[in-house]
Structure 1
């Protein structure tokens, strides 16, 4: 029956497959390969499989000696190991945009960035910044443009960091912000950073930024937590309060349903919640982690301190390390009949017969894509 199906029918069927199944189908024969390439998991709104595939959880070890990443398929519920041996340098995860990972090289002290598609093994090194700097805050923004193909349109903002002072007088906090545009492949100094913000962004901001409604936000890791916002249009900075800032053991910013979202937890298994930013910079709690899930997640110590967060528009993942379980609040159903629910996902202790060590990780959510990128 399969060999008798018209090309467009078979290609449409293939468009429903997740990336691992699609890759296997495409290797069966020339006809199936052509069908698999017809709809290569494109994320453009006009593509037939837009919103059909949920994002995948991608984790990189914080100390990535193995040059591998680990990805969780939310459809089939299994884990895969993807080698990153095609990259020229050891890397650490910064964030993601569309179907690409934003990475930084770890073999040098100053910031050097690259983007890659771990599924197609393509990568591109970004040019050097105008001002060499170490440990700055980084934020990435997807850009909708007719001159770009999917997955290659984005801007990266780098704020603060340490740079060498003139005349060799030592290092100083850098009070500028640079912006990289993938459309012209260049960096430019796009604005300034007040000195007090430059210090906080450099010393206490380990997470990548979150973009919402024209502003890039970063949250500090020092308790009590504080958040800083950068208005891209007006080149101005502001401070945003954090609810329960002095009581939270962990806090992270996310973006959900068009709104800036905060996820945080304090001592106790039932003491984690999700807030959304409303009018007048007021936070409203919209959800709490279920008591039983929270208690199981934090364990005997009942502490959320080691918790990390990865999020996209359709889901929020709370995780610790590679082998530990995750709790996920995500959207299910189609757009017209969708709802949000909680799920428990086991950690990655093995891939196939191979046992894995329990590594410290940083994770992001990525829309899997098998199309060749323009870079």
Structure 2
């Protein structure tokens, strides 16, 4: 007698799977066509997004060009996830930024085309977004932040020309599908976002309210080394020898104070000629600090509540590509209708 086949009712399957982490849902899609259709349905993805906490993942493109996947690190379960990503033919994409499940790429193979490419790596949906013609893409700085509770997002773009008098800044809103110029008074040395907050040499600027959240000269510090925490505190991460140091910046005095240093047992060994590289650092939703080495993509975490450091080695050895790392959420969001589908 053959083995009896048991199928979950749709309602039970949905209630079980929706409680799983996002990486398990991705794996469950390959069980059978019924599961795939169920788990790829828009109503299920929207329901999952409404329940999902705003977990932040560290996403790397070190392996994208050579191996065809993004390396993704789960900052809660401390596990690695491989997300295959099919790139359009004859392209050389590099990661720029991301927020709320969307990633932003630039095609280095066609850098003068005045387009950026957006992707949701979970749904494998690609979109193409034209840039203002006045922008020089070779000097482009761009950051993204998502609008909570929706699939809309905003992009802040700065033409990083060497001439301060010619600096240009624009903000893209997916709700309107338009680029709008922004005030030039604050965009010099723009560096970091936390949602709608931008940090530059003159302090912290709220882009939604178009007003200063905090004023203070920080021009004595290299802005790209600074990171903004949710409460508005500013931190700097520095590699000194083989150890990571974390400083907090006083916005009034522009002085910094050493907060912590990674232990001697957790040495950061950089290849010859790479000792001057600056590690990337990010805060997660619990205000833990994550540090990523730009050449050997190992990950380090500092927990302020316990004062403890941890390290997590890269799962995949022999990376052929130099790359970039960001910290953002993953989601099942579909792109808004006003955006333009990517032409294959």
Same fold (TM > 0.5): yes
> 2:101 touches 2:333 (CA, 8 Å); kept in 1?
no
How far does the alpha carbon of each residue in 1:253-310 deviate from its partner, in whole angstroms, 9 at most, with x for none?
33434334323225344560142667x577775841332355x124699x96323214
Deviation, structure 1 residue 181 = 0.8
After superposition, the Cα gap between the structure-2 partners of 1:297 and 1:281, relative to the gap in structure 1 and judged at 3 Å, is: same
List per-residue Cα deviations over 1:4-58 (Å, max 9, x = no partner).
76544432331233333212323323554465356438675xx23324xx43321
Determine helix, strand or coil for the equivalent of 2:53: coil
Deviation at 1:327, TM superposition (A): 0.9
TM superposition shift of 1:142: 2.5
For 2:250 and 2:123, the matched residues in 1 are separated by: 37
Is 1:19 equivalent to 2:22 in the alignment? Answer: yes
Q: Greater relative contact order: 1 or 2 (C-alpha under 8 angstroms, separation 6 or more)?
A: 2
**Cα distance 1:70–1:3, how it changes in 2: closer, same or farther (>3 A)?**
same
Q: Does 1:209 align with 2:192?
A: yes
Moved more, 35-44 or 311-320: 35-44
Distance 2:96 2:132 in 1: 16
Instruction: Note if 1:40 corresponds to 2:45.
Output: yes
TM-score under structure 2 length normalisation: 0.73
Across the two proteins, how many residue pairs are aligned to each other? 324
1:154-183: CA deviations, max 9, x gaps? 2112224349xxxxxxx9962332111111
User: Cα–Cα, structure 1 residues 108 and 275, in superposed 2: closer, same or farther, change >3 Å?
Assistant: same
The alpha-carbon distance between structure 1 residues 69 and 29, as it changes in their structure 2 partners (threshold 3 A), is closer
Confirm or deny that 1:319 pairs with 2:311.
Answer: no
2:262 to 287, 290, 311: 290
Distance 1:142 1:371, change over 3 A: closer
**Contact (CA 8 Å) 1:69, 1:84: kept in 2 or not?**
no
C-alpha distance 373-231 of structure 1, shift in aligned 2 (>3 A): closer
Residue 246 of structure 2 is aligned to residue 273 of structure 1 = yes
Structure 1 position 105 matched with structure 2 position 107:
yes
Q: Who is 1:307 aligned against?
A: 278
Cα deviation code 1:301-335 (max 9, x no counterpart): 9x96323214243343322246442212369xxxx
Q: Displacement, 1:364?
A: 0.8
Partner deviation per Cα, 1:223-264 (whole Å, 9 max, x = no partner):
xxx676545344779653278x49xxx963334343343232
Structure 1 residues without counterparts, runs of 5 or longer: 164-170, 219-225, 332-337, 351-355
1:91 Cα deviation (Å)? 2.1
| 8 Å contact from structure 2 (residues 217, 254) kept in 1 | no
Q: Which one of the candidate residues 291, 302, 309 is aligned to 1:342?
A: 309
CA distance in 1, matches of 2:324, 2:146: 21
Task: Give the distance between the partners of 1:312 and 1:3, measured in 2 at CA.
Answer: 45
Compared with structure 1, are the counterparts of its residues 57 and 271 closer, same or farther at alpha carbon in structure 2 (3 Å cutoff)? closer
Residue 218 of structure 2 corresponds to residue 241 of structure 1: yes
Q: Which residue of 2 aligns with 1:353?
A: none
Alpha carbons of 1:89 and 1:228: their partners in 2 closer, same or farther (altered >3 Å)?
farther
1:143 paired residue among 133, 143, 147: 147
1:78 aligns with 2:70: no
Match of 2:319 in 1: 357
Q: TM-score, normalised by structure 1?
A: 0.68
Q: Secondary structure at the match of 1:240?
A: coil
What's the CA shift for 1:370?
A: 3.7
Q: What is the SS of the residue equivalent to 1:259?
A: coil
Q: Matched residues in 1 for 2:86 and 2:299: separation?
A: 24
Check the 8 A contact 1:191/1:235 in 2, yes or no.
no
Give the CA deviation at 1:217.
1.3
